[in-house]
A and B are shown apart, each in its own frame.
Chain A
Amino acid sequence: MSLLREAERCLANQHAHNLNAFITPLSRSGQWLDRVKEADQRSEKGTPKSAIDGRLISIKDNICTRQLPTTCASGILDKFTSPFNATVVEQLEGAGAVIAGKTNLDEFGMGSHSVHSRFGPVKNLRRDSAGHEISAGGSSGGSAVAVAAEQCYAAIGTDTGGSVRLPAAYTGTVGFKPSYGLISRWGVVAYANSLDTVGILGTNTSNPFSTTTIPATQPVSPNPHDHEFSPSYKPPPLSTRLTSKPLRIGVPLEYNISELTPSVRTAWLLSLAHLQKQGHTIHPVSLPTTKHALSAYYVLAPAEASSNLAKYDGVRYGTRADGPDGNGQADGVLYSNTRGTGFGSEVQRRILLGTFSLSADSMDNYFIQAQRVRRLVQRDFNDVFSAQHPLFDAQAAHSDSVGAGASAGAEVDVIVCPTAPSSPPRLSDLTGDSEKSSPLDAYVNDVFTVPASLAGLPAISVPVTVAESSQDSGADAEELAGIQVVGQYGDDELVMSVGELLAGNRLGEQ
């Protein structure tokens, strides 16, 4: 199929489905048509610019694009267009890709179900067994659905605590979060910048892989302001530092929590069995700090968010509320009107949380404590991986490694675990006044994705299907689960290779 026909089909899908995946969809006509045609000619001549030359790639709407608005799904930026392209956008366009539109998300990336959007919730293409609309996951839900509904070839998202992996698991797509910093964050609107990572979503492992390699390996200079790839900062090698073959697969015992639904547990076990069958060995490992990781994440991320979002005051850009800036009192709070109406409830909740945890009285008990937990989470991973963390001093890493004995004999190449503890919840349970819409319930969905984020490790979520015979209920939507592969910092390629072994497999008990 020609690139043009593929693009036209994506465009048709964008308009056919009413999934609210895009905030700004692709226009029916425009310069992009010529660019795809030129890519077709290059393809015929056998001289494509790259593997994604002429492909449509969606961009999450918290990544800056000069041609299309960048709203972050927020009222405060609902009419904002950035004066510059994010580095990742420059890189993709430089490789011949065409921007397929800007995808919907949880406001500023804060959410796990893509329902906290000024432009309405994203709908999953799939439905549950009872035919109810289900969550697409978040916060990159729009990007995941755009991929699942074939509205684009691949999509760019951002993953701060699981925002690419969770929607991938819920929509049956592949979601890859590279090592922190592998893809430039220049032009990515900050939510929690010590965690924010540009990620890629695709329909099978080859799409995200070929797409990842563009920003991850292309020498960057379109944007002279980009520092993350300046010559003094060599990116970690994308090539695997594979130490053993067959692979040693780690199974973190702490991830076998009581909240794990049976179908997810089955998918995990079958995935491990599948890998074992191919000759790889399975090893139990211990990541003891995991149970504190989620709490630490929900202290750190809101703290950074409260700082990063302080800039939205409607003065220099963005949407400003009518009337006076303050709350009317002489000594009143500046911008309370603009920020009160511009930000949605979840963003406000996290700003308040972060403001609290950074305040002088609670800094030590919350922010500092959470940073300590973050260190422990990193140490847990360093203890179980056979590969050395390239950014850590080897001796320093081991000298403070107190509980290293527990898994000393079980050094592994990658860790395999579920992406989310359960299947996607119903949208009706998440919106409105439903009792089940407590923010804490949403936060729990991130329990397996947050540790890799805190440690900055590469992680991929791949869809596996469990054969009906192995299911007690046999319900259609319960069959699909996201399995996550986590590797040592810089082992992005290894993580993707293991993901490829699992992705799309129909697994049976036999």
Chain B
Amino acid sequence: MLRPRPRGTIRLLDRLSCPVTRPQILYLQFRQFSSLPTRSAPTSSSSVQPDSDRVPLRKQLKQEAKALRAQKRQRKESEEASREIWELTVGVEIHAQLDTTAKLFSRAATSASDLPNSNVALFDLAFPGSQPEFQAATLLPALRAAIALNCDIQPVSRFDRKHYFYQDQPSGDIANPAPPEPFARNGYVDLYDYDGIAREDGERIRVDIKQVQLEQDTAKSQEYPPSSQLLDFNRVSHPLIEVITMPQIHTPATAAACVRKLQAILQACGAVTTGMELGGLRADVNVSIRRRGEAPGNNHYDGITGLGQRTEIKNLSSFKAIEDAIIAEKNRQIAVLESGGVVEGETRGWTIGSTETRRLRGKEGAVDYRYMPDPDIPPLVIGEDLISRLQDTLPTAPDQLVVELTGPEYGLSIEDAKPLIELDDGARLEYYQDVVDALHSIHPGQDDITRAALARMAGNWVLHELGGLLTKADRAWDSEIIPARSLADLVDHLQRKLITGPTAKQVLAVVFEGDHRPIPQMLEEDNLLLRPLSREEYLALAETAMAQNPQMVEQIRSKNQLGKLGWFVGQMMRTGEKGRVEAPKAEEVLRELILGKA
């Protein structure tokens, strides 16, 4: 059973093949994993297979990669085919935990990692006689978010109560500002090609933000089958920000990009701390389709008319889940309509790894939340002065960061700028800035070109060299592993050619392992500084190498095989004193000796 399929079937891939090929991929991972504890040699896994069926692993991998590409192409083609007939419309709604120390309506702390039910005020448990105490400070991150999303902030907004019964909601009602008076509305978010929007959306697409709301989180419940539920009220009343976009998105990839962008903006402006990966942000999407070129649909949402009946998919917890769920729901709706059925307005769910959305609740509007103005919480009056102060102190927006990082001052590529901004909730970028600042402070008054070169080099080291070490060691980001000053010193030495590239990498690895001596001291003590070889020494090294391989020298000379010069450079570096042979100088000497020119 656990065996690669013969090549023949792979060619027969069609739309239905998705579930067929997928187990193969899973199987491979499974086999490698399961073989690890008992056999350390990777080749041993293939010996499990009977000889007659034996397929070399490399070949097998190639086949599977090919199958995967075919499947992707197939999927893309069928997506494109259906897109020509059907237009997809998606709106996004996200809930993100605001970065506040206190809860929305009590002074209890918001810390998520504490013992269950240790950060709970009487009001959080809806004790009789307790009252809400609105924590004005929670408003600041929410306002920053509204500003970063270009919203109009209402001078007066109101807290409404929303009612429903569930065990994770202690009061049976939650007080939150709800329609008709959200505290901010009419904003927008711009998505660029580098944000990962679908190709058909071009270079830029603008998605309007309908409204931004303050809400409070529910308790965490944990099921203990058959009949127990454990409730942790630490999370209750944790302030949430709810952002609702207009239904203006027409591709699954762009919907996922939109949520990713919203998360990046919310993190960059200091409104939220944790993203989707840690459960700090959840997304709902509403999905409808309509046949192109036909009379417009009868439904309208948020003032956009002519849409098909929409469904809502709740609680998507990863960007991939957003994209996959929308594709699945779109295909389900197409299948329903193509078979003559009617799409019901309902709430649906999505399980990671599944291929279909599943029905959760019936018709939209069936839940009547019975909104009521909260008599215990006065209306929120937000002054112009507060808004303008927050505007003035808002951190740089991600789009602006991209412009700056790819600009003349830093000179990074867009491929490097994006991950720098997004990695580790912005901590990587902060670290990068620290390194650049440190580089500038080492040699104040450098010219712009040198500064940019240093900044670009620092970007490479922060992202790739340091990133590689982290990946290899499977460690989480921590700015203390390599102090910013150490990395700056390293880059500085490298740039001034006081050490070689290999030495720099070697030193970085040593620091990564916990050697925290200052870099100059380490270079000195460990004798790592480059002591340049003399011309005579280079000549001697080159001549030795040439004497050992006269036929290669001849090939270079007669056939002009210049690529082989590099092999000689490598030879010189291996035979010469470690860390002292500089490749460019070695090549220069070789050219002179072999080709006779400088």
Contacts and interface: CB of A to CB of B under 8 A. Distances in A.
Interface of A: 63-64, 70, 72, 77, 80, 82-84, 86, 185-190, 192-194, 225, 227, 303-304, 306-307, 310-313, 315-317, 333-335, 355, 358-360, 363, 367
A80 B165 contact: no
Interface stretch (B15-23, B369-377, B404-412, B547-555): B369-377
B368 interface: yes
Contact of B131 (A63, A80, A186, A333): A186
Given A193-B376, A334-B167, 16 more contacts: A72-B128, A77-B128, A82-B129, A83-B122, A186-B131, A189-B129, A225-B107, A225-B131, A307-B173, A307-B370, A310-B173, A311-B172, A315-B167, A316-B125, A317-B128, A360-B365
Given A189-B128, A227-B133, A316-B126, A311 B170 contact: yes
Given A83-B122, A193-B375, A304-B375, A311 B370 contact: no
B165 A334 contact: yes
A359 B133 CA distance: 27
Given A307-B163, A311-B170, A315-B167, A360 B368 contact: yes
A82 B375 CA distance: 23
- Of the listed residues A72, A186, A303, A310, the one surrounded by the most CB atoms of chain B closer than 10 A to its CB is A310
Contacts of A304: 372, 375
Nearest to B106: A225
Given A311-B173, A316-B170, A360-B368, A335 B126 contact: no
B237 to A, nearest CB: 13
A80 B128 contact: yes
B151 to A, nearest CB: 27
A62 to B, nearest CB: 8
A80 B125 CA distance: 14
Given A64-B128, A317-B127, A311 B171 contact: yes
B477 interface: no
Q: Which size class do B's interface residues fall under?
A: 20 to 34
B133 A310 contact: no
B243 to A, nearest CB: 24
Contacts of A225: 107, 131, 133
A333 B164 CA distance: 11
B135 to A, nearest CB: 11
Contacts of B122: 83-84
B305 to A, nearest CB: 22
B161 interface: yes
Contacts of A303: 372
Interface string B375-393: 1100000000000000000
Contacts of B194: none
Interface in B116-165: 122, 125-131, 133, 161, 163, 165
Given A310-B163, A310-B165, A311-B172, A86 B372 contact: no
B239 to A, nearest CB: 18
Contact of B372 (A82, A186, A307, A311): A307
Nearest to B168: A315
B30 interface: no
A313 B376 CA distance: 21
Contact of B375 (A194, A306, A310, A363): A194
B163 A84 contact: no
Contacts of B161: 307
- Of the listed residues A72, A192, A193, A225, the one surrounded by the most CB atoms of chain B closer than 10 A to its CB is A225
Contacts of A312: 172
Contacts of A307: 161, 163, 173, 370, 372
B567 interface: no
A192 B368 CA distance: 21
A102 B122 CA distance: 22
A70 B129 CA distance: 10
The 7 closest A-B pairs by CB, nearest first: A310-B172, A194-B375, A311-B126, A358-B370, A187-B129, A64-B129, A189-B128
A72 B127 CA distance: 13
A315 B375 contact: no
A188 B130 CA distance: 8
29 contacts: A72-B128, A82-B128, A83-B127, A84-B122, A186-B129, A189-B129, A192-B375, A193-B375, A194-B375, A225-B107, A225-B133, A303-B372, A307-B161, A307-B370, A310-B165, A310-B171, A312-B172, A313-B165, A315-B167, A315-B170, A315-B231, A316-B125, A316-B127, A333-B165, A334-B167, A355-B370, A360-B368, A363-B370, A367-B372
A192 B375 CA distance: 9
Contacts of A227: 131, 133
Nearest to A310: B172
A310 B369 CA distance: 12
A335 B163 contact: no
Contacts of A313: 165, 167, 172
B592 to A, nearest CB: 84
Contacts of B125: 316-317
- Of the listed residues B128, B368, B376, the one surrounded by the most CB atoms of chain A closer than 10 A to its CB is B128
A306 B171 CA distance: 11
B370 A82 contact: no
A14 to B, nearest CB: 25
B221 to A, nearest CB: 11
A165 B401 CA distance: 66
B301 interface: no
Contacts of A363: 370-371
